[in-house]
Structure 1
Amino acid sequence: MAWLLLLGAALLEVVWATALERSEGFTRLWPALVGITAAVVSFVMLTMAVRHLPLGTAYAVWVGLGAVGVVLVGIVVLGESASPLRLACLALIVVGVVGLKIV
């Protein structure tokens, strides 16, 4: 259950980061509200997950999956670069997250 909470928290990290970018510096109300709400819920879910998982592992997985998700949104939705080197670096993050789950 803790891993599912952590996965949900990471997915919400993608939501809040993307929404805050779309808020254009908090000048657009709805994206700002979505971003703030998703961030609060993400932090709560992370807090619940660390009751049962080591803090360092949980935090690294949360940040790693969130970062990969935000970059993928940037590539797919915002048209950011999908260079092979950038994708290889993302793959290294994923390998690290999987390694933390296994260990």
Structure 2
Amino acid sequence: MTELLIVFVVNDNVQLMDIAGPADVFSEANTLYGQPIYRSILVAPQKTIRSSCGFVMQADYCLEDINALSIDRLLVAGAPNAARSVPAQGVIQWLSHTAPQARRFTKLWPTITTVAGMVASVGLLAVAMKSLPLGTVYTVWTGIGGVGAFVVGVMFLGEMLSFTKILAAGFILCGLILMKMGK
């Protein structure tokens, strides 16, 4: 399997947890999968970056050294007071050119779909809370989300289907039914 390239775009004053948290998730996925499926790299306007806590980091590549067509996931790491800071020269131009070419860059339509789903989700949650106690509603809601994510992963994102995954989803569904019956 070809490794998927995860590019973290960082700037001076970057918050370390915005890099470390997601990078650890991809690293753990590699461990659980048993082989490298994700390769995370740091990309910055210059090779040396100073984080918001003062640590100095070395970027793997400078912005101009990255081929946009090879990027699978493009993540822009945040910074404290990012709204008031000015990105380094060329970052905005690079992102506006590169981001649309990355394979997993969020386009407008998925964003609109996500917002519509969130609004519907909150509305349905409010309706459910009228007839069920909060603990039951929360359990049912997270169970539906887990099974829904599993179904979307298998049907649309190419996730492998296995007996264990089907069994786990079945147990979640049984738990949801029992929670509703125990009302």
2:113 to 34, 37, 42: 34
User: Identity over the aligned pairs, expressed in percent?
Assistant: 37
Structure 2 gaps of 5+ residues are: 1-103
Q: CA deviation at 1:101?
A: 1.2
Could you tell me which amino acid in structure 2 is paired with residue 69 of structure 1?
G
Q: CA deviation at 1:59?
A: 1.5
Structure 1 gaps of 5+ residues are: 1-23
Could you tell me which amino acid in structure 2 is paired with residue 98 of structure 1?
I
Superposition map of 1:68-79 within 5 A: 68-79=147-158
Determine if the alignment matches structure 1 residue 54 to structure 2 residue 133.
Answer: yes
Determine if the alignment matches structure 1 residue 94 to structure 2 residue 173.
Answer: yes
Could you tell me which amino acid in structure 2 is paired with residue 51 of structure 1?
K
Q: Which has the higher helix share?
A: 1
**What is the alpha-carbon distance in structure 1 between the residues aligned to residue 144 and residue 124 of structure 2?**
14
Q: Which has the higher strand share?
A: 2
Q: CA deviation at 1:40?
A: 1.8
Could you tell me which amino acid in structure 2 is paired with residue 38 of structure 1?
G
Runs of at least 4 residues off by over 4 Å? none
TM-score, normalising length: structure 1: 0.68
Which protein, 1 or 2, shows the higher relative CO under an 8 Å CA cutoff with sep ≥ 6? 1
